[in-house]
Amino acid sequence: MFRTKSVEQSIRDTEEPEHALKKSLSALDLTVFGVGVIIGTGIFVLTGQVAKETAGPATAIAFAVAGVVCALAALCYAEFASTVPVAGSAYTFAYAALGELVAWIIGWDLVLEFALGTAVVAVGWSGYVRSLMDNVDWTMPEVLSGPDVAEGFGFDILAFALVLVLTVILVVGMKLSARVTSVVVAIKVGVVLMVIIAGLFFIKAENYTPFIPPAETQETGGGWDAPLVQLMFGYEPTNFGVMGIFTAASIVFFAFIGFDVVATAAEETKLPQRDMPRGILGSLIICTVLYVAVSLVVTGMQHYSELSVSAPLADAFKATGHPFYAGLISFGAAVGLTTVCMILLLGQTRVFFAMSRDGLLPRFFSKTHPRFRTPYRPTILLGVLIAIIAGFTSIEELATLVNIGTLFAFVVVALGVLVLRRTQPDLPRAFRTPWVPLLPIVSVAASVWLMLNLPVETWVRFAAWMALGVIIYFVYGRSHSLLGKRGR
């Protein structure tokens, strides 16, 4: 259960012709992928909710705190991704450092994270598109607008169609995916910069007072919706105040989810030892700066107590009498969410592909397309399944599972750096995480703290999914493991 797969063997497995992925990505491609997946519903939606309910203008500090937590994890990811340039991200890293069972658990966790993330974003994209259609008096039938809109049966045809189209793009090739992403990211970043630059002219200094509003005890009820930290330690989470900033950080963390997807593309990178650290850290730094700037501008344009929860950026411009900018922001959000959806789907298929190539899932899914050199079988399977989930399911309550799944992956990767430094100190490392062991330990502590601020219900669902994964491993994965067969 705890046999490890050597770095050398992981790299050799990528050289088998029928299981090899095409290397076509540069540092710029990786940075664009990172920015493309990070900037999404988080900045377009969460800013208003967190400022109004939790942190006030100090939302900018909450974004900075969440960015620091991600940066700690990113430094650990950068060492692994440059040392083990193999598809699978945290799954592959755990296999090399912590053993097969831990690798399976983290791979199973990533399957949940990316699948739910893709479906949630697809449903969010559908909502933005319907909103734009309403602006020109085009109305979708309720029955095709999803279960959130229709009474009774509802199928979200737009979310379903989006996932299928993106599946086709991913099958055709990574370079095409990178080109589509580059165009869309340019539009999305342009909209964010427009918000920052145009919004500067409408800022009123009095809206920043008080910058950190007085603390209020958060009403949680102490039940399933309460944070786990309250159940364990009797800690009363607060809205506003200094502690409210940390509560807000655990919420806005969702806005950063996705930078770890860059690591799943390590095997398809031309010079992974050099370009993976640049892509991971570069995209995270760019997005953190944009997030802090946007939150400062929006809370300066409109008092935090008056901000909209559903569309804070667009509605802030409406409140200042500039509806043109509001429409442009809605368009940018709708366009931008397509890349978030596509790159999450990409990460999902690469993890599934890596687990299949190792025999922990059926090897049928580890064959690459003879022409496009992409893992077309898992891409098609997962694309269709996620499209159906997005079409039929109202899954807002499951979105927090994406948070806990990502934070769990951060913990495993940070621990993996510590273990691999001790077990293989002489392994060539193109990028070395600084301040080891202090930085990985701080990364683990920060990630665990944010996990403890998530609801008890989220932990229960996460534990159930993990238990199912362990059962599948012992029923199928352990006996079909390629590493186990080689050992026998």
Counting as low any pLDDT under 70, the low residues of the chain are 41-42, 45, 135, 148-152, 174-176, 218-225, 234-237, 310, 394-400
Q: Letter for the amino acid at 358?
A: D
Helix/strand/coil for 145: strand
Number of Cβ atoms within 10 Å of the Cβ of 115: 23
Contacts of 234 (CB under 8 A, 6+ apart): none
Cα distance between residue 464 and residue 42, in whole Å: 27
Q: Which two tokens stand for residue 330?
A: 């809605």
Q: Note whether 84 and 413 are within 8 A (CB).
A: no
Cα distance between residue 258 and residue 340, in whole Å: 8
What pLDDT is recorded for position 396?
Answer: 54
Cis peptide preceding 455, ω within 30 of 0: no
Chain center to CA of 341: 10
H-assigned helices in 151-271: 157-172, 174-200, 228-233, 241-252
Cα distance between residue 309 and residue 245, in whole Å: 18
pLDDT tens digits along 159-181: 999 999 999 988 987 666 777 77
For residue 118, give the nearest of 444, 387, 411 by alpha carbon: 387
Q: What is the dihedral of CA 263, 266, 269, 271, to 10 degrees?
A: 100
Number of Cβ atoms within 10 Å of the Cβ of 131: 16
What pLDDT is recorded for position 397?
Answer: 55
pLDDT tens digits along 300-338: 999 999 988 767 887 888 888 887 887 788 788 788 788
Tell how many helices (H) and how many strands (E) occur in the chain: 20, 2
Length of the chain: 488
Q: What is the largest CA-CA distance in the chain?
A: 72
Residue 149 burial by CB count (10 A; 0-12/13-18/19+): exposed, middle or buried? middle
For residue 403, give the nearest of 54, 3, 66 by alpha carbon: 66
